[in-house]
Amino acid sequence: SAVISQKPSRDICQRGTSLTIQCQVDSQVTMMFWYRQQPGQSLTLIATANQGSEATYESGFVIDKFPISRPNLTFSTLTVSNMSPEDSSIYLCSGDRDSNYGYTFGSGTRLTVV
Amino acid sequence: LAKTTQPISMDSYEGQEVNITCSHNNIATNDYITWYQQFPSQGPRFIIQGYKTKVTNEVASLFIPADRKSSTLSLPRVSLSDTAVYYCLVGLPRDYKLSFGAGTTVTVRA
């Protein structure tokens, strides 16, 4: 199955600033996904990213707040813009499905906004 | 996407078998059942997937009754390192939009 490298693993940011999270996959994947996970909670899908097209956002998430790039089949970024303490969470990316091994996830970015 | 219900938490001891049952009464004909495992500070990891009857791999077994309205993940002879959150998901094999429920926190004690 694919391996996804996600960085940074954690960051502490000032409110009002932006943070860009990167995910690099070791093989080409058709689609990538971005999730948010509050501590002790389950995962919530933010958006789906295809190469060459605009990301598709889930209800409650907007492009201005969470712009996503997908320049090629092995890379994607998620930016958390104009951060507030409410954005403190774990952000995870996920890659395309291998029919035998399910979806692959990055290890997550733990974001704290102060 | 079919809604799933699973216990919030389960406790076990090393060497025991842990069985986690997931209810999915509204499962559709073409839906598969997939289980993921998540350790603290890591992303979820695929464990096993099945459509009906029984599926076994090196990590776990998945039992699915004929009506497919529930499924049971079986972890044989657990160790402390099996302490994690386990998620049951139901959906089409090529449905990329995973819907994670609350999951089951399994705590294995010495």
The pLDDT, as a whole number, for residue B1 is: 60
Within an 8 Å CB–CB cutoff, is residue B77 touching chain A? no
Name which of B43, B98, B99 is nearest A108 (Cβ-Cβ).
B43
The pLDDT, as a whole number, for residue A52 is: 81
pLDDT tens, per residue, chain B with 110 residues: 668 999 999 999 999 999 999 999 999 998 999 999 999 889 999 999 999 999 999 999 999 999 999 999 999 999 999 999 999 999 887 666 777 888 999 999 99
Name which of A42, A45, A102 is nearest B49 (Cβ-Cβ).
A102
Interface of B with A in 7-46 (CB under 8 A): 34, 36, 41-46
Q: What is the mean pLDDT of chain A?
A: 92
| C-alpha–C-alpha distance, residues B87 and B91, integer Å | 13
Name which of A31, A92, A101 is nearest B96 (Cβ-Cβ).
A31
The pLDDT-based confidence of A98 (bands split at 50, 70, 90) is low
Write the burial class of residue B40 (CB in 10 Å: 0-12 exposed, 13-18 middle, 19+ buried).
exposed
Residues of A in contact with B96 (CB under 8 A): 31, 33, 48, 96-97, 103
- Of B90, B89, B57, which is closest to residue B76 (Cα–Cα)? B57
Interchain proximity A96–B96, CB inside 8 Å: yes
More confident of the two residues A75 and B100: A75
The pLDDT, as a whole number, for residue A64 is: 97
The pLDDT, as a whole number, for residue A99 is: 60
Which of B42, B59, B98, B104 is the best substitution to test chain A (most A C-beta atoms within 10 A)?
B98
